[in-house]
Structure 1
Amino acid sequence: MSLDVPCRVIGSALVAISLVASTPAGVAASPVTLATVASVTATALPKATTFTELSGLPQDADTYGKLSGIVVHPARTVAVYALPGGKPTATLPAKQLGSQTWVPVVEARKGWYRVLLPSKPNHVTGWIKAKGLKKARSRYRAIVKLGTRQLTVMAASKKLGTWTVAVGGPETPTPVGRTFLLALVSPKKKAYSPLILPLGTHSSTLDTFGGGPGTVAFHGWPDRKVFGKAVTHGCIRVPARALKVLAGLPLGTPVLIAP
C-alpha cells in the first residue's frame, strides 16, 4: 500500500514535506496576524483557517449541490457570524497558507454572504458582511468521483479534461461533499509533488497527520501505478497534466467530491 508522505506548513513555509491530512492546497478575477475588524480583535475569537475547529456555526445542508461560482475575498480580517446581525463567532483572515483567502458563497442576503469555511468540522459555513469584500466568479469546477476514481475539470460547460486519480484508502477515505480550492503551496525542497493544492476539507478519520491538521489536498505523485487505486490517507493524487490544470484554477473554485 502506497502512502502519502507527511507534510507540514508553518505560516506559509513548507517544511518536512508531506500531506493528506497534514497541511496541504490563484484566484481569480484567484495562521496570520491581521487587523482589528469593527470591535472584534483578531485574537478575541477563533480564526476560520484549516488549522482550527469551530463551533456554533451552521452546516452546509446541500452537500452535493452545485455552487454558483461566486467567490469572495476579505481584504482584511472580517468577523464571522452564525446569523446575520448576531454576535461574531469567529474571524476569517485575508490570507491562509501564503495565499489570499477566497471562499465560495452558498447563500446571499442583503448585505451578507454565507460562505464555506476551511475549518473543521467539514461543511461548516458562516455569515460575513458583504461590505468591503472583493467579489469574483469562477466559471470552473472540479469533480472527483471516488467510485470510478476519476477527476474532471470543467470551464462552464466545457470539459478541460478527465483523469484517473488515486483516492483515500478504506481506513482513511477521502471525505465527500462540496468544498473548494483553498491555497496553492510550492514546496521549497524536492518533494513528491511540485505543487500542493489544499482544499477546504479534512480527513474524517485522522485528526492529525504528519504534524498537520488533516487537510485534504490535490497533489502529484511520482509513481503512476497508484492512479486508479484507493491507497492514500485521504488526499487526491493526480497526474502531472491534471495538476497543471488544477493549479491554473482560481482559488475558491468549487470542488465536488462524490461517492
Structure 2
Amino acid sequence: MIRKTGTRPPDRADRRVRAAPAVVLGVLCLALTGCASAPSIDPAHAMARADLGMQAPATTFADFPKAPQDPAPNAETDGVVLHVKQDIAVYETPNGAVFARLPATQLDNPTWVPVIAERGRWAQVLLPSRPNGASGWVRTDGQVERARSPYDVDVDIDARRLRVRKDGAAIGEWVVGVGAPDSPTPRGRTFIMAAIEETVTRFSPIILPLGVHSETFSTYGGGPGTVALHGWPDPSVFGQASSDGCVRVPNDALRLLTTLPLGTLVHLR
C-alpha cells in the first residue's frame, strides 16, 4: 500500500499537511517497469451547487476530453493557488456549463490547484485529470482559500535537469532521470498534486504525484498512469532517459521538493 504524507501548504498559513489514511496510486514509478465564503449566491451558482453530486470528480483517475485546454502551457504564473475546502463546480467558461466537480481532497491530500488566469470572481485552474493540460473555471467567492506559492519547479527534459526556483531565483539544480524514448515524460505545465509515502518497494521514501499523465500508458500498476517526481536508489539513472515517464531525482533534490507547497507549478519543458 501507499500512504500519503504531508507537504507544506502555501505561504499564507505555513502549516504542514498531516499524514492521512492509506491510498493506492498506480504512478509510473511503481513495479520498476485568505478567502471568506460568499455573502450571497446567484441563482445559476445555486443550481450548479445543487447539481454538484451528479458531476464526475476531477481527480487523477478522471478523463474530461472536452475540458478547456491550458491556453499557454509554457507560460509562467504569479504563483496564486487555490485551496478547495469543499467540493466545488468546474465550469467550461465563466458562467458557462458545469462539466465536473473539484473535490476537496486528492489522494487524501487537501486539494490545491494553480491559477493560470483570472476574470473577476472567476479563476481558471489546472486540473489533475486527463487529458494533459485540462483546465476549468471555478468561482473564487465560495469554498476556496487563496494563497501564493513563491516556488516553481522547472524540468528541462532534453537536458535532463531539474531546477527549483523561489520568486524566480534558483535555489537548487540537479541532473535527473526522465522518460525513455518509448515512454517519454509529457511536456507542459502541471503542479504538485499530492505527497505519498511509499511503503511497498521503498525505492523512494516520498512520491510526489503531478497533475499530468503518461501519453504512452492509459493505465499503469493498477492506476491511471500518473506521472510523479520521486527518488531512485541507483544514481546511474540520473542523466538518463530510462524511466516509464516519471522524473527520477537525487535524494537531496527530493528533500527540497517535499517541502514545497501543494499546488506549486511544475514546468515539464
SS in 2 for 1:241: helix
Pairs within 5 Å for 1:1-259: 13-14=22-23, 19-20=27-28, 38-42=49-53, 44-132=54-142, 133-189=144-200, 191-258=202-269
For the aligned residue pairs, the C-alpha RMSD in angstroms reads 2.2
In 2, Cα distance between equivalents of 1:122 and 1:140: 22
CA shift at 1:21, angstroms? 6.8
Per-residue CA deviation, residues 63-86 of structure 1 (Å, 9 max, x unaligned), is: 111122100011100000001112
Name the aligned partner's letter for residue 142 of structure 1. Answer: V
Contact 1:14-1:188 within 8 A present in 2 as well: no
In 2, Cα distance between equivalents of 1:228 and 1:68: 30
**Structure 1 match to 2:42:** none
Give the total of aligned pairs: 238
Name which of structure 1's ranges 240-249 and 82-91 shifts more when overlaid on structure 2: 82-91
CA shift at 1:97, angstroms? 0.7
In 2, Cα distance between equivalents of 1:22 and 1:49: 19
SS in 1 for 2:197: coil
CA shift at 1:199, angstroms? 0.4
Gaps of 5+ in 2: 5-19, 32-46
Name which of structure 1's ranges 130-139 and 188-197 shifts more when overlaid on structure 2: 188-197
Tell me the percent identity: 44
Contact 2:3-2:196 within 8 A present in 1 as well: no
CA shift at 1:127, angstroms? 0.5
In 2, Cα distance between equivalents of 1:143 and 1:197: 15
Give TM-score, length-normalised by structure 2.
0.83
In 1, Cα distance between equivalents of 2:110 and 2:30: 20
In 2, Cα distance between equivalents of 1:61 and 1:93: 23
Structure 2 CA distance for partners of 1:12 and 1:209, relative to 1, 3 Å: farther
Structure 2 CA distance for partners of 1:256 and 1:12, relative to 1, 3 Å: farther
**Structure 2 match to 1:26:** none
CA shift at 1:9, angstroms? 7.9
Name the aligned partner's letter for residue 66 of structure 1. Answer: E
Structure 2 CA distance for partners of 1:9 and 1:57, relative to 1, 3 Å: farther
Gaps of 5+ in 1: 1-6, 24-35
Give TM-score, length-normalised by structure 1.
0.86
Contact 2:2-2:199 within 8 A present in 1 as well: no
In 2, Cα distance between equivalents of 1:201 and 1:218: 11
Name the aligned partner's letter for residue 120 of structure 1. Answer: R
Q: More helix by proportion, 1 or 2? A: 2
In 1, Cα distance between equivalents of 2:123 and 2:215: 27
Contact 2:52-2:88 within 8 A present in 1 as well: no
CA shift at 1:96, angstroms? 0.6
Per-residue CA deviation, residues 20-67 of structure 1 (Å, 9 max, x unaligned), is: 1779xxxxxxxxxxxx9721233x111100000013321012111112
In 2, Cα distance between equivalents of 1:19 and 1:213: 7
Structure 1 outlier segments of 4+, above 3 Å = 7-12
Contact 2:175-2:238 within 8 A present in 1 as well: yes
Structure 2 CA distance for partners of 1:115 and 1:196, relative to 1, 3 Å: same
Structure 2 CA distance for partners of 1:68 and 1:162, relative to 1, 3 Å: same
CA shift at 1:232, angstroms? 0.3
CA shift at 1:87, angstroms? 2.4
CA shift at 1:190, angstroms? 5.2
